[in-house]
Structure 1
Amino acid sequence: MCGTLSERNGGGCAETASWKCRPFFQWRGGNKREMMIRIGEIAYANSAPIFAALRRMGLADPYEFIPGEPAELNRMLYAGEIDLAPCSSFEYGLHPANYFLIPDLSISSDHEVESVLLISRLPIEDLHGKMILLSPASASSNALIRILLEKRYQAGCAYRFPEEGPHRSGFEADARIMIGNPALKVYLGKNRSRPGYVYDLSLLWRDFTGLPFVFALWIIRREAVLREKEEIARLVQSLYRARGFAESHFHEMAGEFEKALEIPAEDLVRYWESISFDLNEEKIKSLKSYFDYAEELGLIPKSPPLVFFIGA
């Protein structure tokens, strides 16, 4: 476990403190009650404003924050190692009976998202029968590219994950999925050293369906609701407050985070402004379409109903 001096002493962030008084990519220290709610924290720029706002507003103290990539948080949520998190939408599709969704919260994009990319040697129309390298970090994006290639382009591609360890074959795929901060940096530099063909998956989905894409949902384990319903209801209200605060402080946050993220402040502001943190009717319609396609391709057992947490 690690934390700042303020955290180790059980203190909080003063209203005038830096956004980074508790770095969004570290675990939270401090005094814990026996059944502290454990919140998974995506270590990417896309969710940084919400977590930064929680800390800046002094709303983070009752909780433990556990960082990880999306696929890792999916695993931890399913295993009961965390209680709630902004997890891959696909994780809800796989295990809906285990979870509730927080109403009106997501990480979505209406058009380009810039941080979920297909990088290809060939135009996407020419990928029929080719090998696609999936991302070990993202379940939603892996399912999304399969839906797009099979349903929109009828590409009949093969899919695999990258090999790891010293005995890797060195095999290179024809195209690969890249997500998160590395993808955002590639996108921002596309006019200088563009690696082949670069496609934004959110924009491809918009062109295909006419809908936004929901990459992550705020998902709660049902067991946690049974154990801590009142505390979770308070947390949900804190998340709504943090969202509103974050959306009005992007410029200030970007100045604090640009060095840690190695992304210019003006690019961070534009990136955050391109992300939607709500979950409106259009996004719910998109989710249902996504799950329907995933069921058709055998990626999930059944397109699930969306069951929301009541008490927020």
Structure 2
Amino acid sequence: MQADSTIRVGRIRVGAVRYLNTKPLVHGLAAANPDIDLSFDLPSRLADKLASGDLDVALIPSVEFFQDPSYSIVSDACIACRGPVWSVKIFFRKPPAEVRTLALDEGSRTSAALSKVLLSERFDLKPQTVPLPIDSGFDSVDADAVLIIGDRAIHAPAGDFVEIWDLGQVWRQWSGKPFVFAAWVARPEFDTPQIAAALSAARDAGLAHLQEIAAAEAPRHRLTAEQCLTYLRDNLHFTLGPDEESGLSLFHAHAVQRGLAPPNDRWTHHDCEAT
């Protein structure tokens, strides 16, 4: 039995995405932990693999975490922001109060849900939504507003926009809380305490090597090393503390209200009013 346990622990299947904002969380993770089998995929596929049992732990978007009340967060490492996030934006062709159609970048279900929450709370809007495929250009959709994420948001498209929302900043101004985009989540039957220490250590190593990471990643994202460093250091926050948990709980409550997530007593936020 001991041998079987060693084999099981020796093959902890961990999934993450290759996005720039994930680099500090996986810095040296596989090299420092031979017990971890690290793989990469799209966020939606990671969520599917976690649900099917093909992964033990995955860095999945917060909305995906909400979908299964039996899931648990297994690390204090996360992807969050405490203000402008720079890489998640809504570009408005009409004033926000007049938006009737919203194009949603298919790359992020969490940002799509956040957009719906903020438009509802700030302007009592429930716009019709249309997809913006990952490989489609900004002008391929004729919508009043367009949500885009990642490189496309960082490199703002040319256009005549009446307003641009950085969703990290708008959420912070409205709620007073940080926003958690993704966390390390495990299936209920997975119980290996040392994974938490490994994931936290990898995060700490990443934060200690931000300049190195920024220099390596900047050319791939058409950024200068300084721009890349600023994004990773100043726009993102990688620790899930009490404030982040409170922000996550508030987001869950509003997602439940709009049918975007099922209820979960562990994440019930009894006061859904923003501070």
Per the normalisation by structure 2, the TM-score is 0.84
- The aligned counterpart of 2:207 is 247
Q: Does 1:93 align with 2:54?
A: no
List per-residue Cα deviations over 1:147-199 (Å, max 9, x = no partner).
1111221123112324799xxxx65222122112332233xxx7xx4662321
Q: Map 1:155-304 onto structure 2 (within 5 A).
A: 155-162=125-132, 171-186=141-156, 193=158, 196=161, 197-225=163-191, 229=192, 233-273=193-233, 274-304=235-265
- Alpha-carbon distance in structure 2 between the residues aligned to 1:260 and 1:164: 17
* 2:105 paired residue number: 135
What is the correspondence of 1:71-82 to structure 2 with a 5 Å cutoff? 71-82=44-55
Relative to structure 1, is the Cα distance of residues 243 and 157 closer, same or farther in structure 2, using a 3 angstrom cutoff? same
The answer as to whether partners of 1:93 and 1:304 remain within 8 angstroms in 2 is no
Closer/same/farther in 2, CA of residues 218 and 71 from structure 1, 3 Å limit: same
From 104, 108, 114, the counterpart of 2:86: 114
In the superposition, relative to structure 1, how do residues 78 and 110 fare at CA in structure 2: closer, same or farther (>3 Å)? same
Identity %: 26
Give how far 1:63 is off: 2.3
Deviation at 1:143, TM superposition (A): 0.9
| Number of residue pairs the alignment of both structures matches | 255
8 Å contact from structure 1 (residues 118, 178) kept in 2: yes
- Structure-2 change in CA distance of 1:155 and 1:93 (3 Å): same
Q: Specify the SS of the correspondent of 2:20.
A: coil
d(CA) in 2 for partners of 1:264 and 1:179?
19
Residue by residue over 1:286-310, the C-alpha shift from the partner in whole angstroms, topping out at 9 and shown as x without a partner, is 1111111111112122144159xxx
What is the alpha-carbon root mean square deviation over aligned residues?
Answer: 2.4
Contact 1:294 1:303 in 2 (8 A): no
Give the 3-state SS of the residue equivalent to 2:259 in structure 1: coil
**Which whole-Å CA distance do the structure 1 matches of 2:159 and 2:59 have between them?**
30
Read off the aligned partner of 2:249 and give its amino acid letter.
Answer: K
Equivalents in 1 of 2:64, 2:245: separation in Å? 16
Shift of 1:259: 2.3
Superimposed CA distance per residue, residues 24-52 of structure 1 (whole angstroms, 9 cap, x where no aligned partner) = xxxxxxxxx67722211112110112212
Instruction: Tell me the TM-score normalised to structure 1 length.
Output: 0.75
Asked if structure 2 preserves the Cα contact closer than 8 Å seen for 1:101 and 1:306, the reply is no
Mark the runs of 5 or more structure 2 residues left unpaired by the alignment. Answer: 1-6, 269-275
After superposition, residues 143-162 of structure 1 pair within 5 angstroms as 143-162=113-132
Q: Using CA pairs below 8 Å that are at least 6 residues apart, which structure has the higher relative contact order? A: 2
What are structure 1's unaligned runs of at least 5 residues? 1-32, 308-312
